[in-house]
Amino acid sequence: MISRTAYSLRGSGFFAEAEKHRIFTMSSSTQTPATLTFAQRVDRYFKISERQSTFSTEIRGGIATFFAMSYIVVLNPLVLSGADASGTELGLQRVAAVTAFVAGILTIIMGVWARHPFAMATGLGVNAFVAITVATNPGLTWQDIMGLVVIAGVVMFVLVLTGFRTAVFNAVPASLKTAIVVGIGMFIALIGLVNSGFVRRIPDAAGTTVPVGLGFDGKLLGWPILVFIVGLLLTMALVVRKVKGAILIGIVAAAVLANILEAMFDIGASSAENPSGWSLVVPSLPSWTLPDLSLIGHVNPIGAFSSLGVTAALLLAFVILLSIFFDAMGTMVGLAAEAGNIDEEGNIPDVEKVLLVDAAGAIVGGGTSSSSSQIFVESGAGIGEGARTGFASVITGLLLLAAMFLTPLIYLVPFEAVAPALVVVGFMMISQVTKIDWNDWGLALPAFLTFTLMPFTYSIANGIGAGFIAFVFIRSAQGRAREVHPLMWVVAAAFVLFFGIGLIEQLTGV
């Protein structure tokens, strides 16, 4: 029987909403799995409604993330394109295939098992270090260096299983976690500005102390820059007007404009002779290719120890370990905070599963010669689009697997079309800077170093390391060393070793 109060409210919005909530609660909690539809089961498993999202939003988010990160399938082969000590090259097509394959599989696992909107792909910091290491160590082959990546991944996996990595995450003060979010926002925005050519590095030969500048000699030139500007203005307008699909619409519109301009003016790729060309991906028509996955298993975990000796090999593995350890932790914190999948104390649901998938990324990435895969910072594009669950990651992963066969999914979208999304997402993440306790300089100064050095050094790990060391040092200088969690001392000491690796190598001759 309906009470008089409820009956009097039957015609009001209050009763309608209450009844709607009652029906939804019954359908989601009292129904048995056998009576649920397939869509309801997927909704319940991924917690789509629980996290106030929808299927369409998750799909848009998954597509937006794919477009934002698809460049890695093109860029990673270029970074790893050099020859090793034996003169052997991995091959552009083979690296592209395994990069897309590994990213797709790991992203789907992240979505289905950990159920977070985090995409996985080869980390640019790690693969750049790997390439430089190969170039500077004539005794190493590609199998040897990828073996070190596998070793670092195995150690990481053990640290997650023992709870050490989660314990370190929980030991970080809230203000430093917020600073990591802000720093990643600044880093994402800088990536967007640099990828678009809006901001460019000034060549060292210029003899100036200014590292970067606006466009070419302070001028914005070329059609690709116009694509970025139009895309940025459109995306900002759609975001402030709260249009659904704002980021994805901005990417698609900019990509369409890019393809039209390329067809009309034959702009071509950027080079010394054509500095105003597309930064990497030239918009092109579809083509079919069969993936070559022959690099799977192309690894030698003990080769570096035989070539360089135990000490030198361990030092290299240690640098790789620290990089993937804290790059992923910082990225995870930033993305989870932006998605709202984090509590007041900074804890992330199923964080152990997220970290296990990330650790597996280093093992699988090294084992396929695509370098360590980790949580990709460009996942922020999908989160900015509204993605809140692992269903978005499943969409992204499927598109990455399709990218092994269909190059247009990659080559139709140049950097300049994606860059506006990264800039806008960077703004969203930077807005959390107000949550830092600026009245406590023992937290504020380390936080400042954390979010400043991430974009300035183009490394998430460098920013985190500087912030952690500064926090421990300043708290000690304040006479408040007892307030520092013991694990923060351990991590700070590890980062001192990380930053001093060059001096150690010089002094030891390894």
447-500, pLDDT tens digit by residue? 999 999 999 988 888 898 999 999 999 999 999 999 999 999 998 998 898 888
Model pLDDT, residue 97? 92
Give the model's confidence band at 80: pLDDT under 50 very low, under 70 low, under 90 confident, else very high: confident
CA 164, 166, 167 angle in degrees (round to 5)? 60
Q: What percent of the chain has pLDDT over 90?
A: 44
How confident is the model over 250-255, as a mean pLDDT? 91
What DSSP line would sit under 422-447, residue for residue? Answer: HHHHHHHHHGGGGGS-TT-HHHHHHH
191-206, pLDDT tens digit by residue? 889 888 898 877 755 5
Cα–Cα distance between 325 and 358 in angstroms, integer?
Answer: 9
How confident is the model over 135-148, as a mean pLDDT? 84
Which of 8-12, 126-130, 337-341 has the weakest average pLDDT? 8-12
Identify the residue whose tokens are 């659904």: 244
Model pLDDT, residue 23? 41
284-313, pLDDT tens digit by residue? 876 677 888 999 999 999 988 988 888 778
Q: Do the Cβ atoms of 49 and 43 come closer than 8 Å?
A: yes
In which region does residue 217 sit, left (phi positive, over 0), alpha (psi from -120 to 50) or beta (all else)? left
Model pLDDT, residue 358? 93
pLDDT at 34 over 90: no
Model pLDDT, residue 31? 61
Position with higher pLDDT, 322 vs 408: 322
pLDDT at 265 over 80: yes
Model pLDDT, residue 14? 36
According to the per-residue pLDDT averaged within each range, which of 217-226, 365-374, 415-424 is highest? 365-374
Question: Between the CA of residue 37 and those of 28, 41, 56, 176, what are the distances in Å?
Answer: 11, 6, 17, 44
pLDDT at 146 over 70: yes
38-70, pLDDT tens digit by residue? 899 999 999 999 999 999 999 999 999 998 888
- pTM for the whole structure: 0.78
For all residues of the chain together, what is the average pLDDT?
85
Model pLDDT, residue 509? 66
How confident is the model over 166-184, as a mean pLDDT? 87
Give the model's confidence band at 234: pLDDT under 50 very low, under 70 low, under 90 confident, else very high: very high
CA 392, 395, 400 angle in degrees (round to 5)? 125
Give the model's confidence band at 26: pLDDT under 50 very low, under 70 low, under 90 confident, else very high: very low
How confident is the model over 230-238, as a mean pLDDT? 96
pLDDT at 418 over 90: no
How confident is the model over 405-432, as a mean pLDDT? 83
